[in-house]
Structure 1
Amino acid sequence: MQMQQQLECVSLQVCVSVLGPLESVVRRCLGPEGGSVLFTRDTGETLISRHGQRVLSTLHLEHPMARMVLDCVCAHAKSTGDGTKSFILLLSALLRAIQDSAHMRRKASWSNPALQNLANRLMALSRNELDDIIIHQVTPYASSYCSHHSDKLEHSILDYLISGYISGRTGAGQAEILKHILCEFYYKSKRDQNTTETISFIHSHFNVLHTRVAGLPVGCSEVIEGLVVTRDWSVWTELRGPIKALVLYESFGSSLGDNITVCFQQDWLSRTESITKQKLAYLLELQVNVVLSSVKQPECVLQWARMNHVALLECVDSDQLDFLCNINFPETLSHPQHIVMLKYCKRLQLGGLRCAQLGIYSNAHTLVLCAPAPGLLDQTVCVSRGSMEGSYAGWRSFACRWCV
């Protein structure tokens, strides 16, 4: 019975001691004047970050409660897009206050029912008292501001959301550069959509709408029209739009060939070559100017492209091809082949990286993020992606509370 009672009790001292090191780590990088945390792995790779969730996720946490707190922090960040460091600091302060209260009452620990009761009271406070403050003392002023400054509202709120998010995660100089680039990225990507739809679009497709370039200053980051593919053209020729592009997910022979039953290898090779030539000739009849492939194509396809002035781009990321097909309303020949229309095709040099630039009619743009070192580049990408997640959550919350 005594052992069971001990298992049912939660030691506040253990909770505070576990959260103490986490609090000391995030406290160093809190606020615009906070510093960055430097991690060094056994391989010599370094990581520099002020992003609370990333800092906590990088730590090797062995204690079960520490891992539980990290799970809660990640769930909170996923829901709100921000507040990781504040979550840890407020939780630590709350547990210390409970510990002091327990000490005054000469209790070393609280039982589960008592802690559950405390948690319910805190939840009720946040739902009843805090929501009441927002509704009666914040919303009326925000609604008044909306009605008198509707033309400037979108720009100012988005600017504040991105600026506030980035300032707590990067240095002052880098934050100013990224804020300008991300706002530019948003406004160039926006067409006939409203703010929520635009941020949601960027947030959902961020992986295909950004490109990393190491070895350049952060100030070299820019927004480029169209879709940037970090592959050089296997066969390049100057083309003028509009352009018909064939999208392939398999090798040309396997994706376009027919099922053939043969007895001899020589007969099989001759029939396969004949079918391939027929299919390539059919592409010329369709006036296909560009071939975009997710895999390496046979040498005969490269020779055909050179002879017929067709641009060929191989080993394109499948997610980028899917994105291209989804937003361009493609014409499907036979699965998995699609024909899409492009405004233009270009060669692009980003530092020491040769890329392909595809102009698409949906007004999509690519965010090119630069940094002098891989660790700093990872931080830049992480902060940029997080700013879109935070802006999406923040703007959605603003729209639900104040603009409805």
Structure 2
Amino acid sequence: MASAHLMRVVQTVEVLEAVVRRAFGPHGGQVLFTRDTGQAMVSRSGTRILTALRLDNPLARMIVEWVSGHSSRTGDGSKSFILLLASLVRTIDRAACWDLSLSHSSGSDLHCSSARRLAYELLSFSLQLDHLITVRVVPYGQRLAWKDMFTVLPSPVQKLLLAFFHTRLSHNNCIFISGLLCELLSNWTAEDPQPYSALQFLNDTWPALYTPVVGFPVGNSRLLEGQIIHRDFAVPSTPTAQGPVKAVVLTEPLGRFMEAGDVLQIGNKGSISPLGSFTERSLECVLSHLQSLGVSVLLSSVKQSAAVLALAAQAQMGVVECIGQEDLVLFSRLSEATPVSTFWNIRPENVVSLAFCKPILLGAHRYVHVGFPAKDHLRPCSLVVCGAGAGQSEQHALAMQDAIKMLLTTWQPPASEQLENPTHVTAKNTSHHQSGLQGCVLTAGGTFEFLLSRALRQNSVNGQSNVVSWILADSLLCIPRYIYSNKPGSFAQIQATIGKFPEHPVDGTIHLKCERSTQDPGLESAFCKYQLLLAVLQCVSQLFRTDAVIHTSSRLKTISNISCEEGGEAEG
């Protein structure tokens, strides 16, 4: 690694640091972007800010890819990732210079080799972090109890969400959005003490669970019973006087069910009618069969023919066509419907009962609103997210999805999300301590960083990894420094307070209280912090393993490309 490249690494992370620093923390501001089209985007989301940048520097693009990958898994920590990364890179650079001065050596190659070695040792040291955090940090936190969200106000879950949104959204909307998400979670989890499966379901089906509405204040956002299918009726449905609405889900055009030479089975007694060609009369038989099953709504993932729509209108049967895959998957999971692709496969068991199926107007768009019969105390609902512009409504919806990912990570951290390099950390290496981090939260505002920094400094005195413990301990404090940059006295006050805590508390949970503000700082997830630290250490190691950045004016040739070219020349 050349000395110029090491300097370029430092400069690159510091440029990204300067971008996200303005939006960091509970008192951070929003960043305004103007696109080529003239459209303005205002956001506090670190991932959205970083991905909106036009980056020609390959190192910067690599860092942003690391940040995006981490954020997509855990839903949190993109700005902290950049700040901690910049602090670590600077501290490693200083430690490498100090190492050379102690050895009375000089030279850019030795400096780079020392920096690379320190980055490697930091990644290896991460094997000890889960145990260190479990023993020296977790005892100062508290365990989340999902049932408290329904009985205690404000519950720890609500405090966790409120602190999360204070770093992502406008301060005026944080309380409202966190309350709305809590209401959504309470409907879907049904007071389940282990909500991991419900959270996973919400995360997987999120694009179909919310509907953005433009032109209304954020305060108009609300929950609606059932599901919003993001299509309008091609043929209006006739409301039933009483009883459930019966529907069938189709995945092929109805006209393709019967082609020349096919046979059509009608009725339950096995009577078969031969069809020589597709005619209007045969379609009438199809719809008559569906009506005999009580079907009054056809939900189709594809477009139906004009003849089908006309006959459905005559039969007063509603048709919704071209339903998106995401909406169809959610509907199938909630209704337990089995989509059919051929007419002769339609049986009574393919017919699903709905509580209602009616049109709904949200903003300037008409959709289909369906309801499901009550089951297992669950209350399926959809979310309507309003905003003055499309960017604001999408921003709030993405923040809520990221909050669900954060809760998912907090509750049952997947072992596969550990460091991917099997040489250093594997799922087997880390899983034995994850139970200590699962569901643990600490007071927000730098508590995790202060406690872990103190533990690392004591570890550097008593253990053998003196240098790497000191590097990590010093770098971690950059997070609370930025949080309290406008009130330096608060930083020193909290650091001194934590320094007086016993190393191994035995009298139960200790809640940190700070005199800096009367406002409750909220809570943050210990495991999300741990995941962030692992991801940053791996990114640092990757940056320092890079020898140089080579700029080319043409496409690089791979071995396969060269072989193909040589083969082509030989054939010619």
TM-score range, shorter chain: 0.7 to 0.9
Shift of residue 18 of structure 1?
1.0
Does the CA-based 8 Å contact 2:97-2:111 persist in structure 1? Answer: no
- C-alpha distance in 2, partners of 1:97/1:63? 22
Compute the displacement of 1:277 (Å): 1.8
3-state SS of 1:119 partner: helix
Q: 1:329 aligns with which of 314, 332, 336?
A: 336
- Paired position in structure 1 for 2:30: 36
How far did 1:41 drift?
A: 0.9
Give the % identical residues.
31
Distance 1:93 1:141 in 2: 25
Q: Indicate the larger mover: 213-222 or 225-234.
A: 225-234
Give the Cα separation in 2 of the matches to 1:162 and 1:274. Answer: 59
CA contact (8 A) 1:332 1:339 kept: no
| Residue 205 of structure 1: aligned partner | 205
CA distance 1:158–1:107, shift in 2 (3 Å): farther
**Gap change, CA 1:335 and 1:9, over 3 Å in 2:** farther
In the TM superposition, what is the alpha-carbon distance from 1:346 to its structure 2 partner?
2.3
Instruction: Find the residue that maps to 1:11 and give its secondary structure.
Output: helix
Are positions 1:401 and 2:436 aligned together?
yes
User: Are the equivalent residues in 2 in contact too, given 1:241–1:342 (CA < 8 A)?
Assistant: no
- Rounded to whole Å, the distance in 2 between the matches of 1:20 and 1:403 is 33
Matching of residues 326-365 of structure 1 within 5 Å? 326-330=333-337, 335=342, 338-361=350-373, 363-365=379-381
Amino acid at match of 2:436: R
Counterpart amino acid of residue 370 in structure 2: L
Residue 181 of structure 1 corresponds to 180
* Aligned match of 1:69: 63
Aligned to 1:93: 87
Query: Which among 220, 239, 250 is matched to residue 252 of structure 2?
Result: 250
> After superposition, where does 1:128-139 map in structure 2 within 5 Å?
128=128, 130-139=129-138
Alignment of 1:127-206 (within 5 A): 127-128=127-128, 130-140=129-139, 142=141, 151-152=147-148, 156-191=155-190, 193=192, 194-206=194-206
SS at structure 1 position matched to 2:211: strand
Q: TM-score, normalised by structure 2?
A: 0.62
1:309 positional shift: 2.5
How far has the Cα of 1:86 moved from its partner? Answer: 1.1
Which of the numbers 383, 388, 402 marks the counterpart of 1:372?
388
Gaps of 5+ in 2: 263-274, 415-433, 440-572
Task: List aligned pairs for 1:39-118, cutoff 5 A.
Answer: 39-103=33-97, 105=101, 107-108=107-108, 113-118=113-118
Taking the aligned partners of 1:251 and 1:45, their CA distance within structure 2 comes to 40
Higher Cα Rg, which structure:
2
Moved more, 228-237 or 43-52: 228-237
For residues 115 and 98 of structure 1, the distance between their equivalents in structure 2, rounded to whole angstroms, comes to: 6
Structure 1 runs of 4+ off > 6 angstroms?
none
Contact 1:50 1:170 in 2 (8 A): yes
After TM superposition, the structure 1 stretch with the greater mean CA deviation from structure 2, 91-100 or 16-25, is: 91-100
Is the contact between residue 47 and residue 68 of structure 2 (CA under 8 Å) also seen in structure 1? yes
> Per-residue displacement from partner, 1:70-103 (whole Å, max 9, x unpaired)?
1222233244331111111111112222333445
The corresponding residue for 1:279 is: 286
CA drift of 1:35 comes to: 0.7
Residue in structure 1 matching 2:314, options 279, 290, 307:
307
Q: Distance in 2 between matches of 1:75 and 1:63?
A: 19
Hey, what's the Cα distance between the residues in 2 that align with 1:245 and 1:110?
73
Instruction: Give the Cα–Cα distance (whole angstroms) in 2 for the partners of residues 39 and 51 of structure 1.
Output: 12
Are the equivalent residues in 2 in contact too, given 1:12–1:109 (CA < 8 A)?
Answer: no
Which amino acid in 2 is paired with 1:182? L
The whole-number CA distance in structure 1 between the counterparts of 2:23 and 2:92 is: 26
> 2: distance between equivalents of 1:152 and 1:318?
36
SS in 1 for 2:206: coil
Name the amino acid aligned to 1:226: G
Query: What is residue 488 of structure 2 aligned with on the other side?
Result: none
Q: Is the 8 A contact 2:210 2:385 kept in 1?
A: yes
Aligned to 2:219: 219
TM-fit CA distance, 1:37: 1.0
Whole-Å separation in 2 of the counterparts to 1:325 and 1:189: 16
Q: In 2 relative to 1, CA 323–211 (structure 1 residues): closer, same or farther, beyond 3 Å?
A: same
Deviation at 1:218, TM superposition (A): 0.8
The C-alpha deviation readout for 1:93-142, integer Å capped at 9, x for no partner, is 122223334455455465665344212322344432x4344222344455
Shift of 1:230: 2.7
Q: In structure 2, what is the Cα distance between the partners aligned to 1:285 and 1:297?
A: 21
Report how far residue 316 of structure 1 moved.
Answer: 1.9
Q: Secondary structure at the match of 1:370?
A: strand
| Contact 2:356/2:371 (<8 A) preserved | yes
Q: Counterparts of 2:247 and 2:290 in 1: how far apart (Å)?
A: 10
